[in-house]
Amino acid sequence: MTEWRKIEGGITAPKGYRSAGIAAGLKPSGLPDLALIVSDVDAIAAGVFTTNQVKAACVQYCQDRLQIKPTARAILCNAGQANASTGAQGMIDALESAQFLAQSLNIASDTILLASTGVIGQRIKLDALKAGIPKLVADLSETGSAATAKAITTTDLVTKAIALETTIADRPVRIGGISKGSGMIHPNMATMLAFVTCDAAVSPHLWQQMLSRAADRSFNQITVDGDTSTNDSLIALANGQSRTPAITEMGAEAEKLEAMLTEVCIYLAKAIARDGEGATCLIEVRVSGAPDDESARKIARAIAGSSLTKSAIFGRDPNWGRIACAAGYAGVLFDQELLQIQLGEFLLMQNGQPLPFDRAAASNYLKQQAAASVTSDPDQPQSLDHPVIISVSIGNGSGSGKAWGCDLSYDYVKINAEYTT
């Protein structure tokens, strides 16, 4: 039985947070493109960022800020320009945007964290951003999550948000989150942004550890296209406004909080994978029998990221050879005579040997899962409840892990072939 429940409110569900999202003219489309999340008090801040050696100015800015002081009051995010590969001027623009917002909020500029998403090589349209900040601040609301989630998107087809609540020390504790991402998604963070708020009181070191572990089990286990972005940022705030006792070391309450944080991150990660550019279904890869969890997660990532596997699923082709191949090149040693592969309920390989199976029925399973992953709800047209499930066992070890991805369609090529044209 889970120790939390799903609630409404997204990023502003926890106590002491407000947010807003507006159209500031940063995107050529005129769609919402500037978002702000504010804590009423100083919050403990943790972050996990891209591993790409080419880092956007906002990433370097946040890493520098958090290294000096792991607290924050606000997160400002612009969509439209990545402000990556923009040289020294890109950092100057980042600093100027933080300073301008600080004046509007009447807070110190070093308590503001930044995120950007959009076209690499393009600087932030600073004049438009500055002109939009007064309205952005005026629109801050405890019910602003939906507008905020919309304003951070780029090629996303849907917004991504969740909030969960549990009880710690007889008081409600909440975690909310929003994310964006559709392309340039690959393990070790990708062109994704995710912001998490929490009203528990947690020590900085422990909060960072919790977030890093949660990222390893969620955002670092998704892939859409194998490209790792310049701008990936996962930022989590914990402001203590639940008035629960401070959590300073691992124990039952810390484990409960980390489990809920991980659940929020997994939901947001799966939502990104399902919304992969041109995708028609979500893929969940489950690996067991590995020597340890990290080995299992490594194989799961390889399978979820295999272009051949993804293409086969788009074609509704139950070609288990693609899966076996990806498992084999993942970089984990195992005895191929112990390899077992299952697609949904269809056992395709056992003890390293192919098994007879109903190919038409297996193909129909792929069709059914894709059809079920589309809903009639205009507010949430994508379902995460019907993934294509690939189960792989590589032996008798205790290690297990999951990864998520999506199929690879013709539309992915079309979207990215025309991205800046």
**Which structure tokens are listed for 50?**
């891209």
Residue 308 backbone dihedrals phi, psi, to 5 degrees: -70, -40
- Residue 58 and residue 117: Cα distance in Å, rounded? 10
Helical H runs in 24-152?
57-68, 87-105, 126-138, 145-151
Collapsed DSSP state (helix, strand, coil) of residue 277: coil
**Which structure tokens are listed for 310?**
């993804």
CB-CB contact of 244 with 168 (8 Å)? yes
Look up 223 and say whether it is catalytic.
Answer: no
Collapsed DSSP state (helix, strand, coil) of residue 390: strand
Q: What are the Cα distances from residue 242, in Å, to 128, 144, 145, 199, 218?
A: 37, 20, 19, 5, 26
Q: Name the E strands within 5-68.
A: 5-6, 17-22, 34-49
Number of Cβ atoms within 10 Å of the Cβ of 142? 14
Helical H runs in 373-409?
none
- Find all residues with CB under 8 Å of 374, minimum gap 6, and list them: 381, 382, 383
Between helix 87-105 and helix 126-138 the angle, nearest 10°, is: 20
Given 111, 117, 159, 191, which residue is catalytic? 191
The alpha carbon of residue 94 and the mean position of all alpha carbons in its chain are separated, in whole angstroms, by: 23
- Find all residues with CB under 8 Å of 140, minimum gap 6, and list them: 18, 19, 20, 36, 38
Euclidean distance between the first and the last CA atom of the chain, given in angstroms as a whole number: 50
**Which structure tokens are listed for 407?**
């199929």
**Which structure tokens are listed for 357?**
């199976």
**Which structure tokens are listed for 285?**
């890869």
Per-residue DSSP letter, 294: H
Number of Cβ atoms within 10 Å of the Cβ of 156? 23
- Residue 169 and residue 252: Cα distance in Å, rounded? 11
- Which residues are the active-site residues? 191
